Copies of this chain bind each other. A is one copy, B any other.
Amino acid sequence: MSKVERILSVKDQACKAHKASKKLAVLETAEKDRALQVVADRLEAEYKTILQANELDLEAGRRNHFDDAYMDRLALTKERIAEFAQGLRNVIALQDPSGVVKSEWTLENGLHVQQVSVPLGVIGMIYEARPNVTVDATGLALKSGNTIILKGGSSAIYSNQAIVEIMRCALEETKIPKEAVQFIASTDRETTKQLFTMKEYIDVLIPRGGGQLIQTVVENATVPVLETGVGNCHIYVDKEADVEKAIQIIVNAKTDRPAVCNAAETLLVHKAWLDLHHDRLINAFQQHGIHAFADEYALPFIPRADKATEDDWANEFLSRDIAVKTVDSVLEAVEHIERYGTKHSEAIVTENEQHAEIFMKLVDAAALYHNASTRFTDGGALGFGAEIGISTQKLHARGPMGLHALTTVKYIMRGSGHIR
């Protein structure tokens, strides 16, 4: 295809998704649930087709020398595909977020007012690697009455394409038109950018992946964006922090899953606490293979630490590296977070309730923790049932986003000739 043809093809897909959204918006919950059931069954039944396609992605990955962690995220098995299907069945069990009368009242003149939740319309999902996003995002979109345009990463292109084909084919037996799921197969960046400005067809863009992907979308899109997930999260260990709590929270937030956005990247520690408890901290670092980039005050305490540079305070290591910065007060910790944080998840460890309250009041972030690990910032962990991403923006949705984030409202007024 020529460049012009590729662009026209994306526009055509967006237009189809838009038209399909009108049909989807009027379906009953039971019809949507039944369709998701059919899709789930079909994915499970046709796992071999998906595995064959996945093998092509894995071959390409090996040729490109992707690292083990990356290849692991990319690799599918019969069991993982069964998990995709189970994920869809879990979504079926959730409450339909659209069509809910959120509030209603009658004006003195008798005009009846309802605020009703409705689907956003068309969701543009731009993501990297993991093929599970293809299924998860489709399930959440369709359940909430939205259609979806999927633009996955090129490294999973064959897997994603196979998954989408099977899902669309399954939809043909249901009330949801197959046009409700669109997959952009082109890996050309210019073509992708077309999605950024198709305001007439796309209602929201959700980028999921690394910081650079998200920034590209935020800076270039005129379609509204739900910004997700870059997390430079801090643990502040106060002067009055309990030693056991502090150590277990630091270790958990840093090492439970270092590559995710709610992992801790910087330890802010009160000098007085470090003076007293550095032995325990160093033991924990050594035991769990944590490597520190420390400031001048902390450096002598920590064997094998490197000296931190300005860049380290802003770095999302996504590994067992951690920046260590010493402070003299909770306010100094708050100021550091204000300067370097990404408004994702921030924790304070302290037995002093007043210090905790200052932290909760002054730190500007989606999720704040007192004596708990930042790892809980997750739709599943907090009991949301499903998660479309973790919003680090303030408008529309902040923090873990469940199905509700994929809806907007309509005001519906019923009168009998009412005029003003």
Contacts and interface: CB of A to CB of B under 8 A. Distances in A.
Given A362-B22, A413-B369, A394 B245 contact: no
Contact of A418 (B113, B203, B219, B371): B371
B364 A417 contact: no
A283 interface: no
A399 interface: yes
Contact of A252 (B105, B203, B413, B419): B419
- Give the residue among A26, A252, A370 with the most B Cβ atoms within 10 A: A370
Contacts of A253: 419
Given A368-B412, A377-B411, A399-B409, A256 B420 contact: yes
A104 to B, nearest CB: 12
Describe A's contact surface by its main secondary structure. mixed
A207 interface: no
Contacts of A218: 222
Contacts of A410: 360, 365-368, 398-399
Interface residues of A, number: 66
A362 B107 CA distance: 25
Contacts of A400: 411
Interface of A: 22, 25-26, 105, 107, 111, 113, 120-121, 203-204, 218-219, 222, 224, 226, 242, 244-245, 248-249, 251-253, 256, 338, 356, 360-362, 364-373, 375-377, 381-383, 393-396, 398-400, 408-420
* The 7 A-B residue pairs with the shortest CB-CB distance in the complex, in nearest-first order: A372-B415, A245-B417, A252-B419, A372-B418, A394-B408, A395-B396, A375-B420
